[in-house]
Amino acid sequence: DVKVTQSSRYLVKRTGEKVFLECVQDMDHENMFWYRQDPGLGLRLIYFSYDVKMKEKGDIPEGYSVSREKKERFSLILESASTNQTSMYLCASSLPTDGNQPQHFGDGTRLSIL
Amino acid sequence: QQQVKQSPQSLIVQKGGISIINCAYENTAFDYFPWYQQFPGKGPALLIAIRPDVSEKKEGRFTISFNKSAKQFSLHIMDSQPGDSATYFCAASPNSGGYQKVTFGTGTKLQVIP
């Protein structure tokens, strides 16, 4: 079974802090994703990466950056955290999408910015 | 811009009843329609998926019905059980080579009461 592990289940940070969310997958997947999940808004794509050191903006990249130095690890960075970034963050991975491969999700990091 | 509209936002069904969740899309380039199931405290997981070359796909108690002309698809859960209580997301993506972004619906919180 694919396992996507997010380093923290809960995180509390202060406004203006630089925040790192880490994600590791163990199935050698090329694609990795970061979403945020908010009630009534579903899952919104922040960034994705289709290879090491490659990244593409999703629908809501403002205020975020990402890093993928190794194939198995994808980090989401909040450069200067703000209260409107309080949310559930989900990491996912998948094989290349010939045939539309399913995305495998981690269990999320609930981030609170005070 | 919400490209996949999902309804209802929440649903309460008696044990043994049929749960029905509906989704509508606008982008005619979509040709892969997965449903994800998310239990509290967990990430979403692929439940069932359909392509537009078939009008229905069934896996156990879960059935996707697809109406290409109306650009609508729905999830039916037969003989609903309390263990089905979860949030369900429909999704859609095109398949024209390379990575194609998955667009998620806003989610339906299903509660099955004994």
DSSP for residue B52: T
| Structural contact between residues A40 and A31, judged by C-beta atoms closer than 8 angstroms | no
Residue B102: predicted pLDDT: 87
Residue B2: predicted pLDDT: 57
DSSP states of A22-72 as a string?
EEEESS--SEEEEEEEETTTEEEEEEEESSTT--EE-S--TTEEEEEEETT
- Summary mean pLDDT of chain A: 93
Cβ under 8 Å to B: A residues 38-97: 40-45, 48, 50, 56, 58, 90, 92, 96-97
Residue A107: predicted pLDDT: 96
pLDDT per 10-residue tile (average), chain B, 114 residues? 86 98 93 94 94 92 94 97 97 74 93 96
Model confidence over A16-31: pLDDT tens digits? 999 999 999 998 999 9
Model confidence over A38-53: pLDDT tens digits? 998 999 999 999 889 8
Residue A43: predicted pLDDT: 94
Mutate which of B4, B6, B95, B101 to disrupt the A interface (most A C-beta within 10 Å)?
A: B101
| A10-14: average pLDDT | 97
Residue A26: predicted pLDDT: 94
pLDDT at A98 over 70: no
Could you give the CA distance from residue A28 to residue A83 in angstroms, rounded to a whole number? 34
